[in-house]
Structure 1
Amino acid sequence: MGRIVTRHPVTRVRLGSEPVRRADMLAVEEPLEIRVQGTPLAVTMRTPGNDVELATGFLVSEGVIAGGGDVLSAIHCGGPGTGPGIGAGGEPNTYNVLDLTLAPGVALPSPDIARNFYTTSSCGVCGKASIEAIETISRFDLHADETVIDAETIARLPDRLRQQQAAFDKTGGLHAAALVDVASGEMLVVREDVGRHNAVDKVIGWAAQQGPLPLRGTALQVSGRASFELVQKAVMAGIPVLAAVSAPSSLAVELAGEAGLTLIGFVRDPSMVVYTHPHRVDVEGVELEGAARGDAERGGRPVDRAAAAAM
């Protein structure tokens, strides 16, 4: 279907030594055009693989569908201008165009959410027609979700996620996301991609294909920062907890607070910072002094732990 990694000749330079010519592994980045019943909807730069999950998760995140059952079928087709077929003068199938057919009774996406230019692998909301279109209303009320997750479980999630990043081991150039069952602590699915938002869409798409949404009793762990679009995707899928290795943005924190999502950043065993709805994090048995001490400074700037705990 498509390559996840590829080889490329490089010159390795180390001061004091002779340059070494060798092959290196790179993460593959290719465009995926998502169509709904023949109409182009979006183009995103992604790592090939799990494309149906990616497209399904994208449609959930955009509020187009309520779950995997709203997608009747999906098929890869040729690129723009494809004719009657490979053997009849048409373009070969590059597996970079995916056409989804929605189930009977499911409304087609509004033209207002169509993205008319490429979204990059680092930006999940580029190309929106307006800022109002970003603030999609979720079908699910996270405020009513009574999920509670143990702080020690959260602290160990980044290392557990890293252990399952097979493509990252080869390239060092992929983000990852994992969906965790809070009750058992089991990682239900892990996906990698050059785009952090794509990795999350793949995880949500996988879950939507397995059963109905919302994803109550789960947590989403991501390998990088917690941006607005990742919070939006978690909210749209009904995931009550989002944990990130790095920092959230101010808009991500604002959205999480309003939507009822527990947002956790700087998850680096044994510490973390809970930005919103801390009632879902069970700290019983945790030595608070050690946990609060954590990393006293982030990027050279001291962190106000008291203020963070009060959010």
Structure 2
Amino acid sequence: MTADRMGTESASDLPPPQLTSLPVRRFVGGAWADWQDDLVAAEEPLELRVQLPGGNSEPISVTMRTPGHDLHLVRGWLHAEGLGGAVQELWQTSDTPNVVWLRGDELLLLGARRTGTTSSACGICGSGSVERLMLRADPPVWTAAPLSPALISSLPERLREAQPAFQATGGLHAAGLFDPGGTLMAAFEDVGRHNAVDKLVGACLGPAQVLPPNRVLVTSSRAGFEIVQKALLAGVAVVVTVGAPSTLAVDTAVSLGLTLVGFARAGRFNVYAGAERLEG
């Protein structure tokens, strides 16, 4: 692979991954604290496009990532896919920071195209991702009583009790569906957090292709855009995660009316969106 247009990348020369400060309301020690700023890792889509003769281009892949070290990311992906030798040049431009352009063996590169790749007509930015989701998902409905903070903070441990594979290996994520009273309706494990949610949704979908109403999705992972997206498309109104959310996950939750809780554990959690569904 020849040198890219950005020059030789060095980790010491590049800016750190993007972080954004967002206001959160913390529940600590049995009481609500004042609003405080909290650092959240940015999440945006990155599209790989093959530059073709004549000026045209074709997308081959889209992945969600935290901006920063993008060319390292693409090189690693190309190597894992066995395509490192198919690329003579790769670059980014200031006009398209969420796109990495590739030039090389078009036949091999286009043959690696992933199904479901976002087209150029859909755009390749965070706001575009939210707008496309808004065309497919309705704002979630919650008709049950507000959830108590004590219940919210207890859900990760209740999910942990339904994670036998994690307890044996420590290497799997889990997704669980709870009713408003905190009863676990179903739980699935998988090495991928998105896969665990897909298994859960696939097992619990009703005839209308949504989950039963008034359900809480709990995951053992962070809350990335894909987790929020899958929850909204399934009709879930409340998402509780053990880890941190991303900026795009928070933006999406705010835009579509989802309750998003992160860093949930015994006695504490952060509310990033939809606090009206919680007591107090």
> Please, what TM-score do these two structures have when normalized by structure 1?
0.48
Q: Distance in 1 between matches of 2:235 and 2:162?
A: 24
Structure 1, residues 99-132: CA drift from partner, whole Å, max 9, x if none?
A: xxxxxxxxxxxxxxxx9338xxxxxx9x544534
Q: Distance in 1 between matches of 2:211 and 2:165?
A: 29
**Secondary structure, counterpart of 2:273 in structure 1:** coil
Q: Which residue of structure 1 aligns with residue 149 of structure 2?
A: 151
The answer as to 2:136 corresponding to 1:138 is yes
Q: Structure 1 residue 212: deviation in Å?
A: 5.3
The answer as to 2:241 corresponding to 1:253 is no
The answer as to 2:280 corresponding to 1:278 is no
Moved over 6 A (4+): none
Q: Distance in 2 between matches of 1:179 and 1:203?
A: 8
The answer as to 2:211 corresponding to 1:217 is no
Q: Structure 1 residue 133: deviation in Å?
A: 6.3
Q: Structure 1 residue 141: deviation in Å?
A: 2.5
CA RMSD of aligned residues (A): 2.5
Q: Structure 1 residue 227: deviation in Å?
A: 0.3
- Stretches of structure 1 that go unaligned for 5 or more consecutive residues are 1-114, 119-124, 284-311
8 A Cα contact 1:146 1:280, kept in partner:
no
Structure 1, residues 199-235: CA drift from partner, whole Å, max 9, x if none?
A: 1111111111577525421100000100001001111
Structure 1 residues 210 and 189 mapped into 2: Cα distance closer, same or farther (>3 Å)?
Answer: farther
Structure 1, residues 137-166: CA drift from partner, whole Å, max 9, x if none?
A: 334322x53342221111111111111111
**Secondary structure, counterpart of 1:145 in structure 2:** coil
8 A Cα contact 1:140 1:214, kept in partner:
no
8 A Cα contact 1:215 1:237, kept in partner:
no
**Secondary structure, counterpart of 1:173 in structure 2:** coil
**Secondary structure, counterpart of 1:282 in structure 2:** coil
1:56-135 correspondence to structure 2 within 5 Å: 116-117=113-114, 127-129=117-119, 131=124, 132=128, 135=132
- Identity level (%): 40
Letter in 2 for 1:179: L
Q: Distance in 2 between matches of 1:179 and 1:227?
A: 18
The answer as to 2:198 corresponding to 1:201 is yes
The answer as to 2:247 corresponding to 1:240 is no
**Secondary structure, counterpart of 1:226 in structure 2:** coil
**Which of 259, 273, 276 matches 1:262?**
259
8 A Cα contact 1:138 1:235, kept in partner:
no
8 A Cα contact 2:204 2:211, kept in partner:
no
Q: Distance in 2 between matches of 1:245 and 1:139?
A: 24
Q: Distance in 1 between matches of 2:189 and 2:279?
A: 29
8 A Cα contact 2:260 2:272, kept in partner:
yes
Structure 1 residues 280 and 196 mapped into 2: Cα distance closer, same or farther (>3 Å)?
Answer: same
Letter in 1 for 2:258: L
Q: Distance in 1 between matches of 2:207 and 2:155?
A: 22
